[in-house]
Chain A
Amino acid sequence: NAGVTQTPKFQVLKTGQSMTLQCAQDMNHEYMSWYRQDPGMGLRLIHYSVGAGITDQGEVPNGYNVSRSTTEDFPLRLLSAAPSQTSVYFCASSTGSSGYTFGSGTRLTVV
């Protein structure tokens, strides 16, 4: 089992560019989430999904879109990157009756 795989690990974007952060899990977990972590801060929930075809907003959803066409994949799209979106992004999955399994993160810098 690979667990939760995030790609890319590092990315630099120019303001206004768009991109997709990839997240895949091979544990057949029903629930998946995206978090961002700013320096010295805890993780804040961006979007989450309770199953294929079902997504909802978290605490800080503005500027991000998600979709869940399969159980395994949960990509996060930045529509028009802004410097305020410079952060480390973590994807996580769970069964709902146990703790989350986190990916290793994507470090994003917007210049």
Chain B
Amino acid sequence: LAKTTQPISMDSYEGQEVNITCSHNNIATNDYITWYQQFPSQGPRFIIQGYKTKVTNEVASLFIPADRKSSTLSLPRVSLSDTAVYYCLVGVGSGGYQKVTFGTGTKLQVIP
């Protein structure tokens, strides 16, 4: 399983762009990169998934450099409701089941 490393916590003011970087040095050729958001007392919620370059959806962007050893989740203009824990996972997707375990994630605190 590809191991991921993320910052434990981050603070940001409302309205700012937040970038959370995840390191995954031993990512395999077939691995996808997936980010989840978790609010207290809720299950994680899928945010975005990508394989290379850039992926954008209505809530976030995911930047993946050519070597794929890291990825950056970008949240534009965060609000207080974006306060949550964000998890980076490697291995989900590409078809076929892959065992993944969530790390401790990055706790994002948005400040008024």
Contact = CB atoms under 8 A, between A and B. Distances in A.
A43 B94 contact: no
B102 A96 contact: no
Contacts of A45: 99-101
Interface string B54-95: 000000000000000000000000000000000100001111
Contacts of B41: 105
A97 interface: yes
B100 to A, nearest CB: 7
B93 A98 contact: yes
Given A94-B92, A99-B46, A105-B42, A42 B87 contact: yes
For chain A, give the interface size range.
Answer: 20 to 34
B43 A42 contact: no
A20 to B, nearest CB: 19
Interface string A21-39: 0000000001100010000
B104 interface: yes
A102 B45 contact: yes
Contact of A102 (B34, B43, B49, B103): B43
B93 A97 contact: yes
A103 B42 CA distance: 8
A41 B92 contact: no
B97 to A, nearest CB: 5
Interface of B: 34, 36, 41-46, 49, 87, 92-97, 99-105
Interface of A: 4, 30-31, 35, 40-45, 48, 50, 58-59, 90, 92, 94, 96-105
